[in-house]
Structure 1
Amino acid sequence: MQSSLKFGTSGLRGLADELDGAPAYRYVRAFIEVMRARGCFDHTDKVFIGRDLRGSSAGIRALSAAAIEDAGYVAVDCGTLPTPALTHYASMQGAPAVMVTGSHIPDDRNGLKFFRPDGEIDKADEAAISFAYAELSSDLPIRRSGMGQTDVSAIERYRARYLDFLGGKTLRGLTVGIYQHSSVARDILVEVLQELGAEVLPLGRSDRFIPVDTEALRDEDVELLRQWAVENKLDAIVSTDGDADRPLIADEKGRFIRGDLVGAITADWLKADCIVTPVTANSALETCGRFEKVVRTKVGSPFVIAGMEDARVAGAARVVGFEANGGVLLGSSVQRDGNTLAPLATRDAFLPVLACLDSIGAQAKPLSYIASQFGFRAAKSDRLMQVAPEASAAFLTQLQDRNSGIAVAFSSLGDCSHSDATDGVKIFITSGEVVHYRASGNAPELRCYVEAHDDDRAAELLSRGLAFALENVR
């Protein structure tokens, strides 16, 4: 049987019951071998481990610790914490890290995110890990009971990162709802916002794992945000996905703010001179007049990180990267009111949450008004679930061929002026609208993104775009 485990846009993902066992152990051993070859243990013998709150994560963490110990190194357990908190702390120690998380995908799936001492692994590292994994003997003995050392400092250092940067009661006067669900950041988010002076209302805490996807919110999440905004006088509602590297932010009316707009607000708040973002982000980024340079990439934080490095080499002083899911990566040190925020080359939910909330107070305007000033076109996204990768690939290949039956049939949605195959197929319609299809890197899904002149038309275009895809992928 073909394994579901594979590297996607951020880390290794697959079915939890396939990962929980020899595959998890062997992938971590392979990661250690690659880090050893890269010289990452020249100054440390430690590897830091964290996990999210899904049911299978504790067992996979124990396997990961055993693999690290059996490779001759010290496994340091940082507990349940946000992915960016783990990465921040490990980088301070000059050590690699492993995060056990499936992020936003359903509870029957899980994954491993691997980090070098300087941040996320890149595509070359992924290929090397896959090769090292294949080279390991399938008979390699495994242990499931790695213990490791315990270190709870990571979460405290992450908290200090933002409290020291913002300083004081900068959020005084704001009332903020926090959708806690099963986010690993649900408690620290409350604590940090309270420390910064906000009045906080915890909402929707759950004992079961909830797959909150900030690129495709469930209908029940949309309704919850609206209800909470109606019932409470809130300035905003904030949350994260499962491992807190993607934010969920809604305005004072409970309306979800798309991640690329959240990223733009954050980059503007940081006074970025260059932003790096995937092709899925809104086309208004080039026309809003806020940024000197906009660099487009494929979807996935490794591509954004590579783009940020290229921008720094080219001379950009303040580089901010973000994805359409809202995860923000800070590529340069930033000074604000005499305080310095160090770079963090992994997606982070806290930075955009704090940027949006601080902007409300600084501008004395509601978040809906602040968001409207960027001139973003109405945009929506959703996905078809349980679409085999092979079916998605065939659909996308035919869509690129102007002479194929699928491409000709697409004219029912609008006349194509040109297309972009940077990642999937992004079709620009002569009316100025956009329909973009791409296969998910994390699950058997085909995603659809649209841009239109207003919400009603975007909703119609998305519905028709999904229906068109459904007719042609199965």
Structure 2
Amino acid sequence: MGKYFGTDGFRGEANIDLTVEHAYKVGRFLGHHYGKDKKAKVVIGKDTRRSSYMFEYALVSGLTASGADVYLLHVTSTPSVSYVVRSESYDCGIMISASHNPYYDNGIKIINGNGYKLEAEVEALIENYIDGKGEDIPYATREGIGKTTDYMIGRNRYIGYLISLATRSFKEVKVALDCANGSASTIAKGVFDALGAKTYVIHNEPNGTNINEGCGSTHMENLQKYVLENGLDVGFAYDGDADRCLAVDDKGNIIDGDLILYVCGLYMKNRGELNNNTVVTTIMSNFGLYKAFEEKGIAYEKTAVGDKYVYENMMTNGHSIGGEQSGHIIFSKHATTGDGILTSLKIMEVILETKMKLSELVKDVYIYPQLLVNVKVKDKKAAREDSKVMEAVEAVTKALSEEGRILVRESGTEPVIRVMVEAKSNDVCKKHVEFVIETLKQQGHVKD
């Protein structure tokens, strides 16, 4: 974690934490960094936030001033930027989005020429330049100044790519799409319509300030109600930049990232497509998912929280599917990042090829009740490493045995210790979480 860049780019409230000056300097650095031996080519996409246009112009100014040529995808998804970068040989791509955050936040995600998130060492160089510690970057002059090109065709090619991945027609299938008033608004309906689905779309009218507002993958209640009221077969909800997908089954139940990993992982195993017979998860995946994998003879690995770490593990070990409970699902054969619309297409494939409803596909998974409490502490490292706290965690681990788990970890950005317990009942979760929190209090770690 750097000063400005976290696990998912440079993010914060627009013109407070992330300003137009920051964006301009990011552009200046990238244009110079990738243009030392040639004219750099950079592609930019954005979500529907009001401030996305402001940051787009600032980035373009910085990039072209350093001599880079810039290609604008306009409102599109993060995975579409990654696709265009790697399929059309751009030096890098930039996505302007704060994902599932409220509209007044924004962010700059940088994607390298291979379609992956930018290397930490390059992010560190950008941070130095922003703080005036890096090398002086000359302005381009005359014919060296960069140009800007409208490149909506790149987004259209990505849409064509998604359509090409479907194995069957979606004809007569009734599908709801919650586009979160975000990036999916320009892509999702067109894909499902082209594949023949009876498409029902909600939250598809962005106005600059309604992205993620009571909708999308962080507010599933509206989609649940909509699927049930309209008697639909399945529903899919995306986040602001459409790199996440959660689903609603035919009975109105939420199908989170863990259940999506189960459905798709088991399907891939049965078809001989699950590389190394392994699914990559994060430490936040539900205990019930691991029990279900074990029953089906599927191996799994756990990474730190963040799709960046999931993908690193997949690439290092050659695994074919991984993801997070939040709906970041990566299919390494088709993408280098989480892709919400791709994920919904892969779920549709399972439904159509198996001729089973989504509710039937998840019936063998028991998701354990989970309680997560964030505890504000004076010093999170001291709290986490306190011997009495560690003894309390060990005691809970022994008490739960094979019927649950406890996870105590430090927040990456706040003075907070996260205490999470999964067990067979809410009462058991509550008892063990309260025991650890009381230990933290007794040891003097909790803020008043």
2:285 matches 1:281: yes
Q: Answer with 459-468 or 260-269: which moved more.
A: 459-468
Residue in 2 aligned with 1:258? 256
Alpha-carbon displacement from aligned partner over 1:232-259 (angstroms, at most 9, x marks no partner): 1011111210000011211122222221
Cα distance between partner residues in 2 of 1:257 and 1:286: 16
Q: Give the counterpart of 1:49 among 14, 30, 44.
A: 44
Q: Cα distance, 1:196 vs. partner? A: 1.6
Q: Does 1:402 align with 2:387?
A: yes
Which residue pairs with 1:186 in the alignment? 185
SS in 2 for 1:403: helix
- Aligned partner of 2:225 among 211, 224, 227: 227
> Does 1:79 pair with 2:79?
no
CA contact (8 A) 2:330 2:338 kept: yes
2:173 and 2:377 map into 1 onto residues whose CA distance is 45
Report the AA paired with residue 7 of structure 1: F
The answer to whether residue 139 in structure 2 is matched with residue 149 in structure 1 is: no
Give the TM-score taking structure 1 as reference length.
0.77
Number of residue pairs matched by the alignment: 425
Within the candidate set 124, 128, 133, 1:127 is matched to: 124
Structure with greater proportional strand content:
1
| Separation in structure 2 between the aligned mates of residue 468 and residue 234 of structure 1, nearest angstrom | 47
Residue 95 of structure 2 corresponds to 99
Distance 2:439 2:35 in 1: 45
Q: Distance in 1 between matches of 2:190 and 2:436?
A: 41
Q: Is 1:453 aligned to 2:434, yes or no?
A: no
Can you list the C-alpha shifts for 1:25-80, whole angstroms capped at 9, x where unaligned?
A: 1133334455457xxx76x6310001011111110011111111111110111100
Q: Equivalences for 1:382-393 in 2 at 5 Å?
A: 391=376
Structure 2: distance between partners of 1:127 and 1:362: 46
Contact preservation (8 Å) 2:378, 2:447: no
Q: After TM superposition, give the deviation of residue 115 of structure 1 in Å.
A: 0.6
Cα distance in structure 1, aligned partners of 2:100 and 2:152: 24
Q: Which amino acid aligns with 1:211?
A: N
Q: What percent of counterpart residues are identical?
A: 23
- In structure 2, the CA distance between the partners of 1:209 and 1:372, relative to structure 1 (3 Å rule), is same
Distance (whole Å) between structure 1 residues aligned to residue 385 and residue 188 of structure 2: 44
After superposition, the Cα gap between the structure-2 partners of 1:12 and 1:84, relative to the gap in structure 1 and judged at 3 Å, is same
Partner of 2:274: 272
1:416 to partner: Cα distance: 2.2
Tell whether 2:405 aligns with 1:434: yes
State the partner residue of 1:116. Answer: 112
* 1:342-361 equivalent positions in 2, closer than 5 A: 343-361=334-352
Cα distance in 2 between the residues matched to 1:377 and 1:88: 34
Unaligned stretches of 5+ in structure 1? Answer: 313-317, 334-342, 419-427
Please state if 1:364 is matched with 2:364: no
- Equivalent residue for 2:306? 300
1:175-214 matches, cutoff 5 A: 175-206=174-205, 207=207, 208-211=209-212
2:25 maps to 26
Q: CA RMSD in A?
A: 3.7
Counterparts of 1:445 and 1:57, CA distance in 2: 30
CA gap 1:80/1:204 in 2 versus in 1, 3 angstroms: closer
In structure 2, how many angstroms separate the alpha carbons of the residues matched to 1:295 and 1:10? 21
Aligned ranges 1:237-248 → 2 under 5 Å: 237-248=235-246
1:225 Cα deviation after fit: 3.0
Shift of 1:200: 1.2
How far did residue 213 of structure 1 move?
10
